[in-house]
Amino acid sequence: MESAWLVLLAVLLGLAIGVGLSASLVAAMRSGQRALDLTSQDVPAGVGDTILALESAGVVVDPSNTVVMHSPGAAAMGLVRDRALVHEALVELVDSARAGKEVGKQELALSRGPFGDDSLHVTARAARIGVRYILLLVEDFTESKRLEDVRRDFMANISHELKTPIGAISLLSEALESAADDPQQVARFASRLNTEAARLGNITREIIELSRLQSADVLGSPTLIELDYVLTSAIEQNLVAADAKGIEVARGGGKKAKVYGDKALLIVAVHNLVANAIQYSPNGSRVGIGVRVVDEVVEIAVTDQGVGIDEADLERVFERFYRVDPARSRNTGGTGLGLSIVKHVVQNHGGEVRVWSHRGRGSTFTIRLPEASKSRAAALGLEKP
């Protein structure tokens, strides 16, 4: 008889637990959010609903640091895995709050994953709730920090870059005035003045272009673009410079590739790559532009026979104002913004740009863009191509 009661008790407990879990899961599904475990009875009432409603990251942990509930934001930021806090810095913050220490808001840099050095920059605060639990709140300010770093670096870079041509123009103007009685000197100074003025104009124009590319919704309304036209236009813009150095510009590959985007911006991107290839190639050499389509990805490769780039410089060539050879860039009027503009144009089109290079063997820059396929049209909310 006693065994029968035990069996019945076990069945009733199983049903009760099952109903409780089902009710929690149904509530979480109806709210459209995910909760790991809402069965703890001594978490203060209303905490679960509040956690699920948070747009930022909220986590509740028990005395063993097991996560009993968390907001969708915590999962999206990668703070929780297998009911545990991923980052040791957050665990230490929770332990300090549990020990009764005064824990204020802390700024932390949390690794995004096991590879690379990219980090999330967050503010975090931990506090007791109820008798056993700790509430951890995390706010992500990675994007605002990135924008502040960009602004600071941009101001430092632009101040340095503008100082050179402005200073040169000022000095040349004084020299021109003092050489008014010497026609040859006047002509020489005037020529250099024109060069520096053109350089200043190029820097200003490319700064404006780069600022526009970094703004939101730069593409506006993407249109269907035939890359044949883009490549033809970019090559024609560089033929005078190529002819002046006796460089052959050869083109190959498919001519029917299409993408969605901004035609003028893509012409600027390809033009910059071709111009760079010509600029850093020796006289009488060859620059190649090839196109191919692989697995709904369009690849535009620009190859030169120039001096090449050291491996240490490859990761930095797309940075604003970075020059592999500063002395040569000054002589040719380079601004150090061309490749950065290429990078942002391509990224705004949902693609990427890669570089291969080796000293003495030239360089190949490859733009990779999503092909104008049905899936791409659907992703952009456009009509089928």
d(C-alpha 131, C-alpha 149), whole Å: 42
118: three-class secondary structure by DSSP: coil
Q: How far apart are CA 336 and CA 348, in angstroms?
A: 20
- Residue 110 in contact with residue 89, Cβ under 8 Å? yes
Range(s) of the domain holding residue 121:
31-140
Q: How far apart are CA 74 and CA 89, in angstroms?
A: 15
Question: Tokens 């299409």 appear where?
Answer: 258
Residues 48 and 160 in one domain: no
Q: Is residue 231 part of a domain?
A: yes
Length of the chain: 385
For residue 169, being part of any structural domain is answered with: yes
Distances from the Cα of 141 to the Cα of 1, 153, 304, 323, angstroms: 64, 18, 42, 31
* Averaged pLDDT for residues 31-44: 46
Cβ proximity of 137 and 57 under 8 Å: yes
**CA 34/CA 31 separation, integer angstroms:** 8
Q: For 265-322, what is each residue's pLDDT tens digit?
A: 899 899 989 998 998 899 999 999 999 998 889 999 999 988 888 877 777 787 766 6
pLDDT of residue 192: 82
Looking at the structure, do residues 257 and 377 belong to the same domain, yes or no? Answer: yes
Q: Which of 8-17, 51-60, 156-165, 354-363 has the lowest mean pLDDT?
A: 8-17
Kindly state whether residue 20 falls inside one of the protein's structural domains. Answer: no
- State whether 271 and 385 are in the same domain: yes
pLDDT at residue 339 tops 60: yes
4 part of a folded domain: no
Q: Are residues 167 and 285 in the same domain?
A: no
**Domain end marker among 175, 191, 215:** 215
360, 307 in Cβ contact below 8 A? yes
Residues 145-165 as b/e (b if ≥16 CB within 10 A, e otherwise) read beeeeeeeebeebeeebeeeb
State the virtual CA torsion across 151, 155, 156, 157 in degrees, nearest 10.
100
pLDDT band at residue 18 using 50, 70 and 90 as cut-offs: very low
250 and 320 share a domain? yes
Report pLDDT for 322. 65
pLDDT of residue 23: 43
Which backbone phi and psi does 211 adopt, to 5 degrees? -60, -40
Residues 210 and 236 occupy one common structural domain: no
Looking up residue 113, the CATH number of its domain turns out to be 3.30.450.20
Residues 241 and 351 occupy one common structural domain: yes
Residues 176 and 93 in one domain: no
How many domains are contained in the chain? Answer: 3
363, 306 contact by CB (below 8 A):
yes
Pick from 251, 256, 266: nearest CA to 228: 256
Say whether pLDDT at 2 is over 50. no
pLDDT in tens, 348-380: 888 899 999 888 788 999 999 988 877 777 766
Q: Pick from 123, 140, 157: which residue ends a domain?
A: 140
Q: What's the pLDDT at 254?
A: 66
Last residue of a domain, one of 155, 187, 215: 215
The total of other beta-carbon atoms located within 10 Å of residue 208's CB is 10
**Is 15 contained in some domain?**
no
Question: Has residue 26 been placed in a domain?
Answer: no
Within this chain, do residues 211 and 230 fall inside the same structural domain, yes or no? no
How far is it, in rounded angstroms, from Cα 35 to Cα 43?
Answer: 14
Residue 150 sits in the same domain as residue 193: yes
Mean pLDDT of the chain: 76
d(CA 73, CA 384): 34
- CATH number of the CATH domain containing 180: 1.10.287.130
Instruction: Give me the phi and psi of 264, to 5 degrees please.
Output: -65, -40
73-93 as b/e: b if 16+ CB within 10 A:
bbbebebbeeeebbbeebbeb
CA distance 331 to 327: 6
Q: Give domain status of residue 25, yes or no.
A: no
Residue 246's pLDDT is what? 94
Residue range 194-245, pLDDT digits in tens: 877 877 776 676 666 666 665 555 566 788 999 999 999 999 989 988 998 9
Strand, helix or coil for residue 294: strand
223 and 300, same domain (yes or no)? yes
Orientation of helix 263-279 relative to helix 338-348, angle to 10°: 150
Tell whether 136 and 148 lie within a shared domain: no
Is 131 within a domain? yes
